Chain A
Amino acid sequence: MPDALLSTEALEAHYGDFQALFGVSVNVTPGEVVSIIGANGAGKSTLMRSITGLLKSKPEMVRWKDQPIGSLRADQIAQLGIAMVPEGRQLFQSLSVEENLIIGGQMGRGGPWDLEAVFKLFPILEERRNVASTALSGGQQQMVAIGRALMSNPEILLFDEISLGLAPIIIKTIYDALPQIIGEGMSAVIVEQDIAKALSVSDRVYCMQEGRISLQGTPNSLTREQISAAYFGV
């Protein structure tokens, strides 16, 4: 797709002998918010790991601004402006809240997001800036993880299951802040098991099932029955 920012082309992924992705093709255009829904084990996180380079792929299977990036190292892909809020937060336990944020920006890419901007977005973090990151509540840790990804001033932000393990009120707070987070011009991919939340914020949605895309379209054009069928594969 010519004007896609990020795309995967017939992406395959394996864990040893086990194949997790079977020819997955998705794309994101600049400024677009795309969500990827699916049940546990559908392959959503594997897709994210392949895109970010944590899982190796053939070069042409992942494309960024029409360049093949599938075989690049994860740190090289991060330098391109692809950032991820990983599944399960994954904060650095030896670093404080502030240090986690600072290391997010260590590439020095420049842009609107710096420590001050992140603290403005999530004021509670400024209060607890010197606390060990593991001492925070789940919701606060998720804010740190999001802030850490923002600090790299990315062009596209991947959110991997950010609502997992959080109380509904916290999930609401974070999703309410999403427009502020994504802001002007940033693209986003939101991986979710919470279908309603995902549909409410995205321009387009893909549904995955057992390592394949089972459905795609805009939220408005898809019926609940279609989504259900694609989600559960019945």
Chain B
Amino acid sequence: MEWINAILQGVLLGGLYALFAAGLSLIFGVMRLVNIAHGDFIVLAAFLGLSITTGFGVHPLAALLLVVPIMAGLGYALQRGILNQTLGDDILPPLLVTFGLSVIIQNGLLEVYSADPQKMNAGAIEIASVQLPGGLSAGVLPLLMFGVSVAVIAGLQWIFYRSALGRAFRAVSDKQDIAQLMGLNKAHVFGLAMALALGVVGIAGVFLGIRTSFDPSIGPGRLIFGFEAVIIGGLGNLWGTLAGGIILGVSQNIGAQINPGWQLLAGHLAFLIVLAVRPRGLFPRIEG
């Protein structure tokens, strides 16, 4: 019973990991850029949510209404101001610049908020639970987060494959030069992609902040979870990323069941096994 519960919790946790990964996956799909600071942006969003919650006295979930647009705006500015200049054939500049950003964000947050762990209080919803068949129970909040994750992924899929914006993303990703001949300003399109990705990061950050305690240093850990979810699930497939997140979450929880100190290692092990046996992931769509 404990095992089934652990697996269930792992599945719900997987939704959060998929949310971590979704923005990462989107950006790589559109502009072949991997943002090393991605996890730190998630933590930044969590702190942003914290400040809004305490500053305006609103519920953390309500803070989303501000966090998401702010993060999206930040993403657009970041892409057009800095990251667009790093794009090209060389992989070093985007990698090193986003690494530098990671250092800046972590230390900036340390300066402003100190290293103390924080957590956002979502009130009664945090302890509410729902009875499931088979004597299992699941928290309302984890269920809600999982549901939102699935909705976000479905939304991103819709944008990517059924909207004009998604067409622009795919065209610019396919052939930058030719896309410009269609009147698409690639600097602007990339900016919109990053805005969308950081908007999703905003949701992920607030969820993180409600779910666990956080501090400025946990960014890289979230990046790694997101990255592992993408690799396990397969590049270029957002639903695959959801599957990857779930596998990661379940592996971690099973590991924790065996020995609490093995939680993270179990997740890494699952990742390494997939890398060894199925390097392109379980449901790949594009080449790495």
Contact = CB atoms under 8 A, between A and B. Distances in A.
Check A-B contact in the complex, CB < 8 A: yes
Interface of A: 52-54, 73-76, 78-79, 83-84, 86, 90, 92-95, 99, 102-104, 106-107, 148, 152
Contact of A92 (B164, B179, B186): B179
Contacts of B164: 102, 106
A104 B170 contact: no
Contacts of B174: 92-95
Interface in B172-208: 173-175, 177-186
A79 B178 CA distance: 14
A155 to B, nearest CB: 14
Contacts of B183: 75, 78-79, 106-107, 152
B180 A103 contact: no
Given A52-B181, A107-B183, A95 B175 contact: no
Contacts of A95: 167, 170-171, 174
B229 interface: no
B184 A92 contact: no
Interface of B: 164, 167-168, 170-171, 173-175, 177-186
10 shortest interchain CB distances as A-B pairs: A74-B180, A107-B183, A78-B183, A94-B170, A92-B174, A75-B180, A75-B185, A92-B171, A90-B178, A75-B183
11 contacts: A54-B180, A74-B181, A76-B185, A78-B180, A78-B181, A95-B167, A95-B174, A103-B168, A106-B167, A106-B168, A148-B182
B-side binding surface: helix, strand, loop or mixed? helix
A54 B177 contact: yes
A75 B167 contact: no
B182 A78 contact: yes
Nearest to B174: A92
Contact of B184 (A75, A83, A90, A148): A75
Given A92-B170, A106-B182, 4 more contacts: A54-B177, A75-B185, A78-B180, A103-B171
Nearest to A78: B183
Contacts of B167: 95, 99, 102-103, 106
A104 B171 CA distance: 10
A92 B180 contact: no
Nearest to B286: A94
Contact of A90 (B168, B175, B185): B175
Contacts of B181: 52, 54, 74-75, 78, 83-84, 86
A87 B181 CA distance: 13
Contacts of B170: 92, 94-95
Contacts of A73: 180, 185
A38 B186 CA distance: 32
A103 B182 contact: yes
Q: Which of A52, A90, A103, A152 has the most CB of B within 10 A?
A: A103
A75 B186 contact: yes
A179 to B, nearest CB: 24
Contacts of A152: 182-183
A108 to B, nearest CB: 9
Given A90-B175, A92-B171, A94-B173, A104 B180 contact: no
